[in-house]
Amino acid sequence: MGGLLLQLSFTQRSCGSHHLFTKPGIVEKINLQRDDGKAKLYQVCQVRNVIIQYQLGELYEIIIYWSNEDQAFIAEQQLKLTVIALD
């Protein structure tokens, strides 16, 4: 989750096990704390809601899913490409 926020231009401050992410124009401060190296469910929901509310996924397609193999939520992002036909 932290890597995704950094790719979306959030800045990170760390204090112990807490990682605080902020971004100008975003009111919410996102506090991530690992649970055995994995994001907690409420943190995944908070990040998802901020991405939707502020339309941060406009340039990227962001897919968040549960991985049984990793026993964790996985966030993947891809750059959305628009193809324009020139005459």
Judge whether 40 and 19 are in contact, CB under 8 Å. Answer: no
CA–CA gap between residue 64 and residue 41 (Å, rounded):
11
Judge whether 56 and 10 are in contact, CB under 8 Å. Answer: no
pLDDT one-digit tens code per residue, 23-82: 999 999 999 987 777 778 888 889 888 988 888 866 677 788 888 998 888 888 776 655
Q: Are strands 30-33 and 11-15 parallel, antiparallel or unpaired?
A: unpaired
pLDDT of residue 11: 96
pLDDT of residue 59: 67
Every domain of the chain and the residues it spans: 2-79
pLDDT at 83 > cutoff 60: no
